[in-house]
Amino acid sequence: MKFIETLKNVWKIEELRDRIILTLGLLLVYRFGAQVVLPGIDAAQLGGLQDSTDGGLLGLLNAFTGGAFANASVFALGIMPYISASIVVQLMGIAIPYLQKLQKEGASGQKKITQITRWLTIGICLVQAPGYLASLPGLGIPQSAFLLGQTFTFYFSSVVILVTGCIFAMWLGEKITDKGIGNGISLLIMVGIIATLPQSFVQEFTSRVTDNNGGPMLILIELIVWFVIILASVMLVMAVRKIAVQYARRTQSGGYEKNVFGSRQFLPLKLNASGVMPIIFAQAIMFVPSLIGNSLSDTTVGAWMQTAFSDLFGFWYNVVFALLIIVFTYFYTAITVPTNKMADDLKRSGGFIPGIRPGSETSEYLDKIMSQITLPGSIFLALIAVFPAIIVKLMGIQQGWALFFGGTSLLIMVGVAIDTMQQVNSYLLNKHYDGLMKTGKNRKAVA
């Protein structure tokens, strides 16, 4: 089979093999840590906490941490504080000149920005860790589960462990990015989501079959719909990856350089340059309204916010979620696609877009194109993100299982899987093998 042959080719490339083994090893460490309960908490009495995280925002947060949140694990905070810190740093990069200067300094500036993000992550952890510990009794853990009591010693040691766990998870993600197959942070989130998939399906199966709520036939229909949605998501993500802008380039002789496109070349621009990051950013922000509502629960506005934004499948939650995705798609695209640099590079190489003057006009034109092609990409992300709420209303499936019918979970799984396959694909092509997305015989080196 072609797939088996491709796997053999992957194993033949020593560097790629080592990177994959390292990545799998670090992911295994992360999954092991998600099962280690905090010292001083009885693991046998966590049933109430696990029941309270079956659905809603807590269920989604538990999915992002791979079940660590419901296990009161050393990785209970997951990688979300790092995501939140990244959002804050990138937002501040718009208004703070020092960060803008660092962004223009290339690799050295990015290194300093990464360091700032790490320190901010620690600060966020120091706020979230005590909040998580204080909320445990209200989430279903009895007082008897706290073996040492809720004393200062317990809080201090647990906060240190939770902060250390988040920093260690961040380190694992960075090592996967540097020494593994890339997309380390996204891979940690994806693995955590996949880890909750079997449990969610078992709960749905029990609801349909054991409780006689539709029977096996409805389970079969749900699986068919699920596979169709996955296939459609993959096809759409692959189909809208890039769009091309024509440009010409003069040679030293004064003519146009000839290539397979004649006298024109193409500048590839991604229709969705931000990938799944707007989904992750928007999801992190969506925890804020519910927290504000809880703190202002005595007021009318606070009670409404608590009700409207605690329901993961509610109307207002999904409307705001979709709008945030569109906004973050434009924001992240503006950060990651430097149209000014692209215009300068074209000008230095003697290239220009036909009918557009080199320099600032080219930059404005590219910025306009990016704005136009980002709109359908952002709307597509938003529609997929709110699809679980639609399918819950239409089919009445379990909330945990519904998260995999689109939404954050499915988009992260599909997006990260495609990006990872492309990473492996590039290694195979560089070694003259067919990639994971190609067919045919092994390629031969060109002399």
What pLDDT score was predicted for residue 432? 57
pLDDT in tens, 92-108: 877 788 887 887 777 78
* Highest-pLDDT range among 100-104, 163-167, 245-249, 379-383: 163-167
* Highest-pLDDT range among 214-223, 267-276, 314-323, 401-410: 314-323
Question: What average pLDDT does the segment 14-19 reach?
Answer: 82
Structure tokens at 349: 């190489």
- 423 in a domain, yes or no? no
Question: Which of the listed residues 195, 226, 249 is the one where a domain comes to its end?
Answer: 195
Mean pLDDT score of the chain:
78
Same domain, 138 and 99: yes
What pLDDT score was predicted for residue 247? 63
Q: Tell me, rounded to whole angstroms, the distance of Cα 121 from its chain centroid.
A: 17
Same domain, 185 and 207: no
- 444 in a domain, yes or no? no
pLDDT in tens, 39-68: 988 888 888 787 777 666 677 777 778 788
DSSP 292-344: HHHHTTTSHHHHHHHHHHH-TTSHHHHHHHHHHHHHHHHHHHHHH--HHHHHH
3-state helix, strand, coil in the chain (%, to 5): 70, 5, 25
Same domain, 24 and 173: yes
- 427 in a domain, yes or no? no
Residue 46 · residue 71 · CB < 8 Å: yes
Residue recorded with tokens 């050393």: 74
Question: Which of the listed residues 180, 195, 210 is the one where a domain comes to its end?
Answer: 195
What pLDDT score was predicted for residue 119? 92
3-state secondary structure of 146: strand
Question: Which of the listed residues 146, 169, 195 is the one where a domain comes to its end?
Answer: 195
Q: Is the pTM of this model over 0.95?
A: no
Given a cut of 80, whether residue 327 has pLDDT beyond it is yes
Structure tokens at 245: 């802008």
- 411 in a domain, yes or no? no
Same domain, 183 and 102: yes
What pLDDT score was predicted for residue 168? 93
- 96 in a domain, yes or no? yes
Confidence of residue 441 (pLDDT cuts 50, 70, 90): very low
- Sort residue 323 into left (φ over 0), alpha (ψ -120 to 50) or beta: alpha
What pLDDT score was predicted for residue 444? 39
Phi and psi at residue 136, in whole multiples of 5°? -60, -45
Query: 304 vs 153, 179, 298, 301, 321, CA distance in Å?
Result: 37, 47, 10, 5, 17
Same domain, 344 and 320: yes
* Highest-pLDDT range among 145-154, 243-252, 282-291, 430-439: 145-154
Domain count, the chain: 2
Same domain, 184 and 307: no
Looking up residue 264, the CATH number of its domain turns out to be: 1.10.3370.10
What pLDDT score was predicted for residue 443? 41
80-89, 154-163, 214-223: the lowest-pLDDT one: 214-223
- 417 in a domain, yes or no? no
Same domain, 184 and 223: no
Same domain, 191 and 259: no
* Highest-pLDDT range among 86-100, 161-175, 310-324: 161-175
150-154, 232-236, 329-333: the lowest-pLDDT one: 232-236
Same domain, 242 and 181: no
- 446 in a domain, yes or no? no
pLDDT in tens, 353-377: 777 888 888 888 888 888 887 888 7
- 443 in a domain, yes or no? no
pLDDT in tens, 175-226: 988 888 878 888 888 888 888 788 888 878 887 777 667 777 888 888 888 8
Confidence of residue 256 (pLDDT cuts 50, 70, 90): very low
Residue-level length of the chain: 447
What pLDDT score was predicted for residue 446? 34
Same domain, 139 and 20: yes
Nearest to 426 by CA among 27, 24, 23, 19: 19
Given a cut of 50, whether residue 259 has pLDDT beyond it is no
Distance, CA of 126 to CA of 253 (rounded, Å): 63
Same domain, 166 and 187: yes
Same domain, 242 and 365: yes
Domain coverage including residue 354: 197-405
